A and B are shown apart, each in its own frame.
Chain A
Amino acid sequence: MSKDVVVDIQGLTKSFGDRKIFRDVTLQVHQSEVVAIIGPSGVGKSTLIRCVNYLHPFDQGTIRLLGHELRGGERPSAAVLQDIRTHVGMVFQTFNLFHHLSVLDNIVLGPVEVKKVPRKQAVERAHELLEMMGLTDWAKAYPRRLSGGQQQRVAICRALAMDPKVMLFDEPTSMLDPELVGDVLEAIQRLAQQGMTMILVTHEMMFAKEVADTVVIMADNAIAEMGPAKQVLENPQTERARNFLARVLRNTPPADIPQAVVGGDPD
C-alpha cells in the first residue's frame, strides 16, 4: 500500500443474520483526504464507518490503519482496539455527549482517562478547542442546555481533544434543525482545510461537492461509484449513481450555502 494511505479497506463484507448490510467494499483513504460517503438510507453507510473503529465487527475483508490490521470475523485484542479508538475520532449523528458531565468534562474525559494527560493540560487544550468552535461561554454548562448544533460542535471538540489521525463523521447534521446545520458544516470544513483526514457519511450534497476530495456513492449494499467529488456528482458514470443523484437533487433547494437535504436518514 502506498505510503500516504491512512485507512485501507479491502473487500469488506458484513451481514446481520440473513440481511446483507454491504458486500465487498474496497476503499483507500489518503493522508489529508476528505472522503464523503453518500447514498440512500439503509445501504450500510453508517455501519461501514463504524467498522473502521470496530464499533461494529465485520464478516470478511480487512481494514488496515495505524499499523494494525483488522480481519473479518476476528476480534482484535483489547490493546489494538484501544490504540485504534484512541487515534480515530468519531462524531455521531445523535451527538452522544455524556449527559452527566459538563461540556468541559466531556472534552477532558478521553485525554485524562485514556492518554493519561495531566488534567490541567487537558483543560487548557479543551478551552482552546471550545474557543475555536465559538463555545467559550458554555464550558461549565451541561450538554442538555445546549442546542443541537452546539452539542455537535462540542462532540467535535471531544473527538479532536484526542489528537486523532483520522476523523469519522456519521451523518453529523441529520438530526439538526436546518438553521443549525451551517455552523457544524463550517467547523468540519475548517478541519478539512487544516489537513485532517476524514471519512464523512452525509446527506449534504452541496457540502460534499465543496469539501470532499473523493465521493463514494453507495447503493444496493455496495459501492456504486467512487471518484473525485465533482466528477462523481456532476457526471456520474453508473446507472445506480445517476438514479440516486436524480432522486436526491430533485429535492435539494438550489443554494450556494450548504443546506439540509429534506428528510433525514434513520439508520
Chain B
Amino acid sequence: MSLFSIWGQYFPSYLQGLGVTIELTVLSLALALVIGFVLALMRLSKVRGLVIVATVYTDVLRAIPVLVMLFIAYYSLGAIGIKLSGVEAAVLTLGAFYGALYGEVFRGGISGVDPGQREAAAALGLPPSSVMRKVVLPQAFLAILPPATNRFADIIKDTSLVVTISVADLMLQSYQAISATYRPMDMLGLAAIMYFVVYLLVSRVLARWELNVQRRRS
C-alpha cells in the first residue's frame, strides 16, 4: 500500500484523536489560567500565609515531572477511592502544573507594571479592585502575552502524555496504528505533521495577534 493511501485510511481516526487532543488542551488551559491567576494574586498579597502556600505549591509542582503527577492523579488517587477518568486525570494534572507556570508569568507581568500607574489610579480615587481591573491588568497583559502563548503551545505537546493512560488522543491513535500496520515511521510521521501544523498555527497566529496588540498601543 502506498504511503498516501495508508494515511488516507487512518486519517479519520487521527482526526478523532486530534479532537481529543484539542479538548484536553482547551480544558487544561482553562484550568491552568484560573489556578495561575489565583496563585499570582496570592503571591502578590500581603498575607504571609497565602504567599507561603502559593510559593510552596509553585516550587513543588515545578519540581515533580508531569508524568509522575499524571500517574498519581490516575492510579494513586484511584487506589484511595478517588476514581478519575483518563481525561479528568489529565486535565487535573496539566491544569495544576501549568497553573504553577502561569502563576509565575502573571506575577511577573503584574509586578512589572510601573508603580506610578497604580499611584495615579489611586490618586483619582479608584478603589483597589478597579485599579487592578482598569489599569494594572490591561498593562500587564502586554508583558504576559508572549510567555503565556509559549506555555500554551507546550500544553498541546504535553497532552500527548495521556498515551500512557490509554486516552485515545492523537498520540495513542498513531501508536495503535503502528502495531496494526508495522510501518512505524509512516504512522508516526502523519501524527508529527498534524502536531506540527497545530503548533505552527498556534504559535504563528498568536504571534501575529501579539504584534497587533502591541502596535495598537504604541
Contact = CB atoms under 8 A, between A and B. Distances in A.
Interface of A: 53, 55, 78, 82-86, 88-90, 92, 94, 96-100, 109-110, 113-114, 142, 144-145, 155, 158-159, 162
B134 to A, nearest CB: 6
A97 B121 CA distance: 9
Contacts of B218: 142, 144-145
B120 to A, nearest CB: 4
Given A109-B134, A144-B218, A158 B116 contact: no
Interface of B: 114, 116-117, 119-127, 130, 134-135, 138-139, 141-142, 217-218
B46 to A, nearest CB: 13
A98 B119 contact: no
16 contacts: A55-B119, A82-B125, A83-B125, A85-B122, A89-B123, A94-B116, A96-B116, A98-B121, A98-B139, A99-B139, A100-B138, A100-B139, A100-B142, A113-B126, A114-B130, A162-B125
A39 B117 CA distance: 26
Contacts of B114: 96
Nearest to A93: B116
Contact of A96 (B117, B127, B138, B141): B117
Contacts of B120: 90, 92, 96-98, 155, 158
Nearest to B216: A142
Contacts of A90: 120, 123
Contacts of B130: 113-114
Nearest to A50: B119
A110 B135 contact: no
A29 B17 CA distance: 73
A109 B120 CA distance: 11
A79 to B, nearest CB: 10
B124 A114 contact: yes
Contacts of A84: 125
Contacts of A94: 116
A92 B116 contact: yes
A90 B124 CA distance: 8
A38 B143 CA distance: 38
Contact of B126 (A53, A99, A114): A114
With most chain B CB atoms within 10 A of its CB, the pick from A55, A94, A98 is: A98
B130 to A, nearest CB: 5
A113 B124 CA distance: 10
A86 B125 contact: yes
7 A-B pairs with least C-beta separation: A86-B125, A96-B120, A85-B125, A110-B124, A96-B116, A90-B123, A114-B125
B110 to A, nearest CB: 14
Given A92-B120, A94-B116, A82 B135 contact: no
Contacts of A83: 125
Contacts of B127: 78, 82
A58 to B, nearest CB: 16
B119 A96 contact: yes
Contacts of A53: 123
Nearest to B115: A96
Given A113-B126, A114-B126, A92 B117 contact: no
Contacts of B139: 98-100
Contacts of B134: 109, 113
Contacts of A86: 124-125
Nearest to B141: A100
A98 B217 CA distance: 11
A141 to B, nearest CB: 11
B77 to A, nearest CB: 43
A90 B142 CA distance: 27
Contact of A99 (B123, B124, B217): B217
Nearest to A94: B116
A162 B125 CA distance: 9
A142 B138 CA distance: 14
Given A142-B218, A144-B218, A85 B123 contact: yes
Nearest to B118: A96
B124 A142 contact: no
B113 to A, nearest CB: 9
Nearest to A53: B123
With most chain A CB atoms within 10 A of its CB, the pick from B119, B138, B141, B142 is: B119
